[in-house]
Amino acid sequence: MILDFRAAATPAEFHADLCVIGAGAAGITIAHTLAGTGLSVYVVESGGLEPDGEIQALYEGQSVGQPPIMDLAASRLRYFGGTTGHWGGGCIPLDASDMAVRPWVPHSGWPITRATLEPYYDRARPILDLPDHRFGDPGLLSRMPHRPIGFDPALFTSLYSMSSRQPRLGEVFRAQLERAANVTVLLNANLVEFDTNEAATSVRQASLRGLDGRKGSVRARYFVLACGGIENARLLLLSNSVCKPGLGNDCGNVGRFFMDHPSGQLGGVVSEHPDRLTEAYDRHLSDRTLPIYPEIVLSETLQRQQQTLNGRVRPDDYEENVADGITALRTLRHDLSAGAPSHLPSQILRIAADLGDVAPSLFRLMRGRPAVVGHRIELLGFFEQAPNPDSRVTLGDRIDALGQREVRLDWRLTELDRHTYEVAAMRFAAELARLGLGRVQLDPWLRPGGNPYEGMGGAAHHMGTTRMSDDPAAGVVDADCRVHGINNLYVAGSSVFPTGGWAFPTFTIVALALRLADRLQQRLT
Amino acid sequence: MRFFPRPDAPAAPGRRQILAAGAAAVLVPGRAARQSPRPIRNAIQALFDDLPAAQSLGRLYLAQNRDPAPLLRPAPGSEPAGAIRARVARCRARDFAAGDTAVLDGWIFSRTEARLLALAALS
């Protein structure tokens, strides 16, 4: 069932076995898993079924870090389906080494292993509609339209990421949750605080408020906070009526260790074989029926020997001045594959008027080459971030439309991050030269004496602010994702990641949510 | 094709020149380069299409490494050209495989290449 909290006919008080705050990838996965069980599940979602500017503005905040992060309101989506509404769909599991203690990476190590997650990764595949191939399957190589470059495996490993064929989880699971007799999705209802007992060891209810001022609550046996890597921390900090530092924040860890996947341009590449260098890694050239993409990843050997974080690099064929006819052709192709062609006559006219550019492009595509000859090749990097207690989410001074303090984000990279970028760029440049595939010129920021993080931006993969740890002094949630010291409050999502590898986080978010759903079902039945 | 076609990059030696530069680096000890008789100096200078650009990069390397001479390995000068090329290729491959590189104006050179640019600057 789906209810709108703004509707007069909708009750204001609810009772449930389980209350999930947030209907993004994690919250929807939990609701989907528990649909059809005998448990009463309420999913509280701030937004509606479509994005809304006024609700989206509740995500605004202040970013003061180095480097500046992208717009806090634009990098997250606050409606049913959450940020999967603009997710690219990339999936790959974390490496076992990503989750292990690495002596050269301070604060590294999960309290669970990759083996623990393995069965949940398997169960996450159909939820995200991934191709029926195992990650790392060597047989995939023969299916690739272009064979990846054979780098020295001691330096760079070839891995494969996959793309969800249906990444908009709100659209995928709306009908199921609407039909489920035991699941109620409550739209346009904002959590303003978890109310606890006097000792702050148990949550009694989730206090709700609508933008129209309407108040309500959900009482439940268990609660799951699933609002994303920034908002999870904010909502715990805002739940401070009893526990002044905020819920789960006795040791001051809520909001700390904020991480993203720093990414940016490391340099330019000059090559006499630009197609050979880029074609295997060009998303546009992949088989659309088999969305599997080769990735060039820093090997575990290189990470250990050079004491770096994990990361990947990609030579990217940068297109400048793409002809109008080619742009129209791409739009038409995209619209047709989506089954919704728009402005068809004008697009055909644009293509026809630019046949001089379109024809050679089609010829190149037929030969398996990029449609547009790149004017230059950029070397891009996508990296793990070092866990850093000074990189943190706190409450700012500005107040939102609900009367709640907005978030203040201070994103901070470290010398280990900078060292990783340098090693990745230098070793990849040396490999390209050794193989005779090109030469690299580092961007000025990455040269000796350059501004250490000037070239890096975020990927809107917000992680780490309620990190998982066995030791309550070192984190916020335990290995089951239960908030330390609170017997019925759990956290779902990437905020529990102690480290984030370079892997796109949604696949792991869904796997962890499946594991949490199993745990909660066991406790509730 | 020029090896460094970026318009914002300084003019620099081409690939053939860099390969040849590697040959010189294993043939000519640094002291000899600095005190080189005219034939050797001419041979070094002849390696580059754009000698000023090569010397400019070489000066950058010298600024980072005060004396490249100890890094240069003297070798018999009587090897046949094919053997020299093979040795140069091995040196370059060894440098790149080991990550033994130098950054000059952002470009990443093998140590062998960088030393030869330094020799050009000294010659």
Predicted confidence pLDDT, tens digits, chain A (525 residues): 999 999 999 999 999 999 999 999 999 999 999 999 999 999 999 999 999 999 999 999 999 987 666 789 989 999 999 999 999 999 999 999 999 999 999 999 999 999 999 999 999 999 999 987 788 777 777 777 788 899 999 999 989 899 998 999 999 999 999 999 999 999 999 999 999 999 999 999 999 999 999 999 999 999 999 999 999 999 999 999 999 999 999 999 999 999 999 999 999 999 888 888 888 888 765 555 678 888 999 999 999 999 999 999 999 987 766 778 888 877 777 667 656 666 778 878 888 888 888 888 777 777 666 676 666 799 999 999 999 999 999 999 999 999 999 999 999 999 999 999 999 999 999 999 999 999 999 999 999 889 888 899 999 999 999 999 999 999 999 999 999 999 999 999 999 999 999 999 999 999 999 999 999 999 998
Looking at chain B, the whole-number percentage of residues with pLDDT higher than 70 is: 43
Q: Which of A89-93, B85-89, B107-111 has the lowest mean pLDDT?
A: B85-89
Task: Please indicate whether, in this complex, the C-beta atoms of B106 and A443 are within 8 angstroms of each other.
Answer: yes
Distance in angstroms (rounded) separating the CA atoms of residues A13 and A41: 14
What distance in Å separates the CA atoms of residue A54 and residue A38, rounded to the nearest whole number?
A: 36
Question: Are the C-beta atoms of residues A8 and A29 closer than 8 Å to each other?
Answer: no
Question: CA A477, A481, A485 angle in degrees (round to 5)?
Answer: 45
Q: Using the beta-carbon criterion (under 8 Å), do A433 and B1 form an inter-chain contact?
A: no
Contacts with B103 from chain A: Cβ below 8 Å: 426, 442, 447-448
Q: H-helix or E-strand containing B102?
A: strand B101-104
Lookup result for tokens 């970026």: B6
Q: Are A500 and A463 within 8 A, CB to CB?
A: yes
Which residue in the set A270, A427, A439 is minimally distant from B99, CB to CB?
A: A427
Q: Which two tokens stand for residue A32?
A: 């989907």
pLDDT number for residue A352:
82
Using a CB-CB cut-off of 8 Å, the residues of chain A touching B99 are 426-427, 430
Q: Count how many pairs of residues, chain A against chain B, have C-beta atoms within 8 Å.
A: 54
3-class DSSP state of A341:
coil
d(CA A99, CA A90): 20
DSSP summary character for residue A412? B
Going by their DSSP bridges, the two strands A292-298 and A311-318 should be labelled as antiparallel
Q: Does B11 touch chain A (CB under 8 A)?
A: no
Residue among B5, B99, B103 minimizing CB distance to A270:
B5
* Cα–Cα dist A26/B75, whole Å: 65
Give B37→chain A minimum CA distance, Å. 33
The SS3 of residue A205 is strand
Which ipTM was obtained for this model? 0.81
Which residue of chain B comes nearest to A444, CA vs CA? B106
Name the pTM for this structure.
Answer: 0.87
